[in-house]
Amino acid sequence: MPLTARYLIHDPKTGQTAAFDTPCATAYKKELERRVEMVALLRCSTITLMSSLLTARRFPSLLAFNSFDVTPLRPSSSSAHRCNSVGRALSDWSHLMMSASGGAFVVAQFPCLGDNYGYLIHDPKTGQTAAFDTPCATAYKKELERRGWTLSHIFNTHKHHDHVGGNKELKGDGVKIFGPASDGNIPGMDVPLKGGDKVSFAGSEAEIIDVGGHTLGHIAYYFPSEKTAFVGDSLFALGCGRMFEGTPTQFWSSLLRLRELPDDTTVYCAHEYTESNAKFAISIEPGNLDLVRRVKEIKAQRSRGEPTVPSLMGEEKLTNPFLRGDVSAEIRKNVGANESDSGAEIFAKIRRRKDNF
C-alpha cells in the first residue's frame, strides 16, 4: 500500500483532540499517549477501532511521550513494522508528573554534554519552572525559550561541574538556587539543604534525602505526592555513581534510603549510562530473569535512540546490582563476598568490580 499520512489536531483550551482518518491504530495510540491529551475522535473508520483507541488511554502518575514540534504523524505504510516506527530518532522527551493539587507538572528531559540529561519541571498553573541541576546553560536556555517557560528555581544535587556549570549564567532576577549545604561550592546558592529538609515548588513539597557517597554532601529530591525522585549521580538505572569522596558505609546507607522509596516512584538520574551498566549487571547476576528481560528491553530502546531514563524504583530493586548485594546470593558469590560480610562490605566489592569492569 502507498505511504499514508496520519493527523491529529488538538485544542489546548477545551482539551479536545481529533483524528482525521485512522489508517493505523498503533501509531495513533502511541501519538495520543506521547502527547498526553484527552481524546475526542471526530472521524473514525470503524466503531471497533474508535473503542480500541479510547480504551487504550491510561492516566498513571507519570505518562511519557516524545516531544517534537511536527503537526502530522510520521508517514508510513500500513504494515505493523513501519507503523511501530513512529517517534524514533527524537532529540528530547517530555513527561507528565501529577502534582499534589491534582494538576500536572510537565517534565522536560533533554540531552546535555554528551551523556547528561537536563531536566526542567513546569507548573502551567503558576508558571513556575525549576531546573534540576544545570549541566549546560545553553541547552537549558534553548529549552526554556522553545517552550516559552521562565526559570524560577534551580535545585542542585551536588557540586560537580556537569551539575552546577550553568548556575551562574541561568541565575537571573527571581531565580532562587537550592543545593547541598555540605558539598563544597555550589555557585550562586541561596538556600542550603541537608537530609530531612523540605522544599516547596508550585504547591508541592519535596523531601531532601541525604545520598552522600559519590560526593560527601550529595542530596536527592523526593516528591512523595508525585511519586517522583531526582537523584543526580547517587543512583543510575542499573548502577550508581563512582565513590569519589564517600566511604562504602556512607554510600550503602544512602542507597538503602533510596531503596526504601515505594516501588512506583519514578526515578530521574542524571546520565544515560544504562546500556554500559547493563553489561556489568548481567555479568554478576546472569541468573536474574528480571534482569535478563530488562537488558533485552534496554538494548532495544537504545537501538531506537530512546532514553532508558527515567526508571521505576521497583525495577531498580529487582535488577540494580548496587541495591541487591545483600539479597542476591549469586551477586555475593560472583564478587567474592563472604557470608559474614556486611551490606557495606558487599557494596564495596561490587563497586570495586564495576570500577575495573
**Is 95 annotated in the active site?**
no
Of 95, 122, 153, 214, which one is the catalytic site residue?
214
Return the number of other C-beta atoms located less than 10 Å from residue 117's C-beta. Answer: 22
State how beta strands 191-193 and 176-180 pair.
parallel
Residue 122 annotated among the catalytic residues of the structure? no
Pick from 220, 236, 218, 217: nearest CA to 228: 220
Cβ neighbours of residue 28 closer than 8 Å, sequence gap 6 or more: 6, 8, 19, 22, 53, 73
- Among the listed residues 95, 122, 153, 158, the single catalytic one is 158
E strand spans, the chain: 4-10, 17-20, 62-66, 72-76, 93-98, 104-112, 116-122, 129-132, 153-155, 176-180, 191-193, 198-201, 204-210, 219-223, 228-232, 266-269, 311-312
Q: Do the Cβ atoms of 50 and 71 come closer than 8 Å? A: no
Task: For 268, list phi and psi in degrees, rounded to 5.
Answer: -100, 110
Q: Which of 92, 123, 133, 162 is catalytic?
A: 162
Which of the following is catalytic: 95, 160, 183, 218? 160
Q: Which sign does the torsion angle of CA 315, 320, 323, 327 carry? A: positive
Task: Identify whether 160 is a catalytic site residue.
Answer: yes
Nearest CA among 280, 237, 271, 257 for reference residue 158 = 271
Residue among 189, 191, 211 at smallest CA distance from 200: 191
Helix then strand then coil, in percent of the chain rounded to 5, is 30, 25, 45
Please tell me the distance from the alpha carbon of residue 150 to that of residue 144, in angstroms, as a whole number.
Answer: 7
Instruction: Indicate if 218 belongs to the active site.
Output: no
**Angstrom distances, CA of residue 18 to CA of 234, 237, 243:** 43, 37, 51
Determine contact, residues 109/147, Cβ cutoff 8 Å: no
Q: Which of 163, 183, 210, 218 is catalytic?
A: 163
Q: Is 162 a catalytic residue?
A: yes
DSSP letters, 21-35, are --S-HHHHHHHHHHH
Q: Is the omega angle on the peptide bond into residue 310 within 30 degrees of 0, that is, cis? A: yes
Helix, strand, or coil here: 104?
strand
What residues are annotated to the active site? 158, 160, 162-163, 214, 233, 271
